[in-house]
Amino acid sequence: AQSVTQPDIHITVSEGASLELRCNYSYGATPYLFWYVQSPGQGLQLLLKYFSGDTLVQGIKGFEAEFKRSQSSFNLRKPSVHWSDAAEYFCAVSNMEYGNKLVFGAGTILRVKS
Amino acid sequence: GAGVSQSPSNKVTEKGKDVELRCDPISGHTALYWYRQSLGQGLEFLIYFQGNSAPDKSGLPSDRFSAERTGGSVSTLTIQRTQQEDSAVYLCASSLGLRSQETQYFGPGTRLLVL
């Protein structure tokens, strides 16, 4: 079965600092990978997704993620964090073999200090 | 255009009562999904519908949970004889089709509290 691990429950960074949120997946073949963001009281918004091709994926709001097959990782990065980036971030995986349901990690809560 | 909408936004009910949660997907989206977000279990899949195909109910936690989708559009998730552990945010999502790489667009959710 597919699974997703986000090892960091909380991360605090200073505004303007760089950010990396970790995500590891467990799946035999190459899955489809997603990062979603959830602001307080809001639904989930897609930041970026990876299916194939270039392993460095650009998303909205200045985020990017890199797929590393050898490490089964899909870490999310941003070079300079803004206070408005404070939210909860979810990594997710899907694949046709398991239907198209998204399997989510536990989420990482990002706090931004000024 | 309009996104996925869900109603009600919040629902408080007493243990043992039945509740219905509604989802209006994005117009033209043929796939519709229900997820549940709770403190103990995180975000978990419940059920999805694709066109006229039989739904995938593999994520429903018990037979108290059911869902239907009328006319290929609006969906209703019904929880019978609610229990306190059913308290959660119920999220609906839709996508253009059922391919895994298609983006699922999420609604704002219905926050259910069972007293």
Contact A101 B33 (CB under 8 A): yes
DSSP character string of B6-51: EE-SEEEE-TT--EEEEEEPPTT--EEEEEEEETTTEEEEEEEEET
Among A60, A33, A57, smallest CA distance to A45 is for A60
Can you tell me the mean pLDDT for B15-27? 97
B95 close contact with A: CB closer than 8 A: yes
| Host H or E run for residue B77 | strand B75-79
Write the single-letter amino acid at A52: S
Can you tell me the mean pLDDT for B70-88? 94
d(CA A54, CA A52): 7
B89 close contact with A: CB closer than 8 A: no
Contacts with A51 from chain B: Cβ below 8 Å:
100-101
pLDDT < 70 regions, chain A: 28, 98-99
Contact B106 A43 (CB under 8 A): yes
pLDDT band at B59 (very low <50, low <70, confident <90, very high): very high
Q: What is the pLDDT of residue A35?
A: 97
Nearest chain A residue to B5 by CA: give it. A43
Q: Is the pLDDT of residue B1 over 60?
A: no
d(CA A55, CA A68): 7
Contacts with B33 from chain A: Cβ below 8 Å:
100-102
d(CA A24, CA A16): 26
Any idea which residue has 């009562």 for tokens? B17
pLDDT band at B97 (very low <50, low <70, confident <90, very high): confident
A51 close contact with B: CB closer than 8 A: yes
| Range picked from B41-45, B49-53, B85-89 for highest mean pLDDT | B85-89
Q: What is the pLDDT of residue A28?
A: 64
Contact A95 B100 (CB under 8 A): yes
For residue B23, give both structure tokens.
Answer: 């989802």
Q: What is the pLDDT of residue A97?
A: 72
Can you tell me the mean pLDDT for B66-74? 90
Among B56, B95, B108, the residue with its CB nearest the CB of A42 is B108
Residues B6, B10, B16, B22: what is their CA dihedral angle, to the nearest 10 degrees?
-10
pLDDT band at B21 (very low <50, low <70, confident <90, very high): very high
CA angle A52, A54, A58 (to 5 degrees): 105
